[in-house]
A and B are shown apart, each in its own frame.
Chain A
Amino acid sequence: ETGVTQTPRHLVMGMTNKKSLKCEQHLGHNAMYWYKQSAKKPLELMFVYNFKEQTENNSVPSRFSPECPNSSHLFLHLHTLQPEDSALYLCASSHGTGDGETQYFGPGTRLLVL
Chain B
Amino acid sequence: AQSVTQPDIHITVSEGASLELRCNYSYGATPYLFWYVQSPGQGLQLLLKYFSGDTLVQGIKGFEAEFKRSQSSFNLRKPSVHWSDAAEYFCAVGARAAGNKLTFGGGTRVLVKP
Q: Which residues of B contact A40 (CB under 8 A)?
A: 106
- Total A residues in contact with B, Cβ cutoff 8 Å: 28
> Bound state CA distance, A45 and B51, in angstroms?
20
Q: Which residues of B contact A76 (CB under 8 A)?
A: none
| Residues 73-114 of chain A, each 1 if its beta carbon lies under 8 Å from chain B, else 0 | 000000000000000001010101111111111111000000
Among B51, B96, B102, B106, the residue within 8 A (CB) of A103 is B102
- Considering only residues 59-114 of chain B, those with a C-beta below 8 Å from chain A are 90, 92, 94, 96-107
Interface residues on B, range: 20 to 34
Q: Which residues of B contact A43 (CB under 8 A)?
A: 44, 90, 92, 104
Contact A45 B102 (CB under 8 A): yes
- Asked whether A90 and B46 contact (CB < 8 A) given A99-B32, A100-B51, the answer is no
> Bound state CA distance, A43 and B92, in angstroms?
10
Q: Which residues of A contact B32 (CB under 8 A)?
A: 99-100
Query: Taking beta carbons and an 8 Å cutoff, which residues of B are in contact with A?
Result: 4, 32, 34, 36, 41-46, 49, 51, 90, 92, 94, 96-107
Query: Taking beta carbons and an 8 Å cutoff, which residues of A are in contact with B?
Result: 4, 6, 31, 40-43, 45, 48, 50, 55-56, 90, 92, 94, 96-108
The 9 closest A-B pairs by CB, nearest first: A105-B43, A43-B104, A97-B100, A100-B51, A105-B44, A100-B32, A107-B43, A97-B99, A42-B104
